[in-house]
Amino acid sequence: MRKDHLHKGLQCKHSDFPAPKPTGNIQQCRNYRPKNRQGILQDPRVFPVLCLMFFIQSACNMVSSPGADLSKVQNNLTIVSWNVQALFDAEESGTEYQEYTDAAGWNEHKYQARLNTLGQALDKMDETSPDIIALLEVENSRVLEDLAQGPLEKQGYKWTFFANTPGNSLGLGVLSKYPFEQTKAHSLTYYDETTPRPVLEICVRIQDTPLILFVCHWKSKLGGDLPTESLRKASARILVRRIREIGNDSPNTPIIIMGDLNENYDEFYRQTGQYISALLPDDPEAAELAGYQNNTEEDSTEEDDPAENNSTPTVIQADYLILSHNKPPQALHFPEDSIVFYSPWGNELAEGSYNYKNTWETIDHFLLNDALFNQSGWNFDTCKVIKEEPFINAAGKPFLYNPRTGLGLSDHLPILLRIEMRAKQATGA
């Protein structure tokens, strides 16, 4: 039997935030201490990790706006993920990029103009405005509130959640027409490096059916693909641990991982299978590199005795996600109990959402677990890249924002996911 051991170079940090309750125009829940005061998170399926709680800048707000009509039966849910490329407000705090400072000409007028442009684009990207919007590269909670109470006021984004690592220029946040039942922010330190942005965990409950969203913005490849891979895998480790915990506590809960993971769905192939990336395909070569042997009965012999085998102990999936094109997702080359997610890239999604040096990349993601394909409760419907004006320029590429001229939107294209509620199947006597 495998013996769990402490990975001394790993420090896990998380904060819990209760859902906001309406007590006036804006309800804020800031600076809550984590509920777990022990400092140790145990998971029987991964190496236990030393956890030290630390302060994550975050705000979970209820905005004064009409909000969604919760009395209506909601059978469809539209979710958008969009890296909006350095959305700074007009207040200088010292962590802004140079082009967003007073000296560079950035001001309140340009900030409000950009909010209006983004608001109009979000409002018109689909037949109806999205129900939940995840925005990446946002400076603070004020920006979300300004969007919700300004250009998007009539759309009813009454709930917002934002988090960032102290000292960092940008964080990530969510606008929602539906209340948050629970919100969390997770971060992790790998030896002396901390994930640059936390992972947001949000639970919404519609028609008494929970839906868990993990909103991510993983470490970029600035500094090199391989040298930065450890921090993307650290973020994946957070997800693997939490998803196992959720699976143990609430099996069959629909889970969606979304955001800019700074890693292509086919990253393993793009790197010619040289190393284990944070996103791995359900592929025999990837499984072998990860340490799994897909042995058949014909390959085994009676002499095979694990106790006498000096090879590495049983491998446990700890710091990577396995991607499948099957619906529902299932592991064909990894162990059956592996954490596997469906990726729409290569199926519903084509080409890319980000263009780097004239090459399309698939670094913006929606990843769905098997509960979203069981024909009961929330189920996957469709997914698409919003590749149309005003999101693209004349060359058909993302119309990146220029803070000097005020033209453009972002260097990323938004991606949109639609899920639908299906009646729970009755069981026969």
pLDDT 10s digits, 383-423: 999 999 999 999 999 999 999 999 999 999 999 999 999 98
Domain assignment of residue 67, yes or no: yes
Residue 12 lies in a domain: yes
Report yes or no on 302 lying in a domain: no
Within a domain: residue 190?
yes
**By residue range, what is the domain housing residue 99?**
7-292+315-422
**173-205 pLDDT per residue, tens:** 999 999 999 999 999 887 777 899 999 999 999
Q: What is the pTM of this model?
A: 0.85
| Structure confidence at residue 22 as a pLDDT band (50, 70, 90) | very low
Give percent helix, percent strand, percent coil of the chain, each to the nearest 5: 20, 30, 50
Residue 306 domain flag: no
In one-letter notation, the amino acid at residue 290 is: A
Span 206-259, pLDDT tens digits: 999 999 999 999 999 999 999 999 999 999 999 999 999 999 999 999 999 999
| Residue 16, beta-bridge partner list | 184
pLDDT at 61: 73
- Using the Cα atoms of residue 167, residue 170, residue 171 and residue 176 in order, give the sign of their dihedral: positive
| pLDDT tier at 20, thresholds 50, 70, 90 | low
Q: Can you tell me the mean pLDDT for 277-304? A: 74
pLDDT computed for residue 382 by the predictor = 97
Domain-embedded: residue 305: no
Q: Which pLDDT does position 155 carry in this prediction? A: 95
- Closest-CA residue to 180 (of 160, 200, 164): 160
Is residue 283, in this structure, part of any structural domain at all? yes
Our count of domains for the chain comes to: 1
User: Which residue, 67, 417, 27, is CA-closest to 254?
Assistant: 417
Span 277-297, mean pLDDT?
Answer: 85
Query: Which pLDDT band, with edges at 50, 70 and 90, does 37 fall under?
Result: very low
Tell me if 138 is assigned to some domain: yes
- Average per-residue pLDDT for the chain: 84
Residues 6+ apart with CB under 8 A from 353: 360, 361, 362, 363, 364, 385, 398, 412, 413, 414, 415
CATH of the domain at 273: 3.60.10.10
Categorise residue 168: left if φ over 0, alpha if ψ from -120 to 50, beta otherwise. Answer: beta
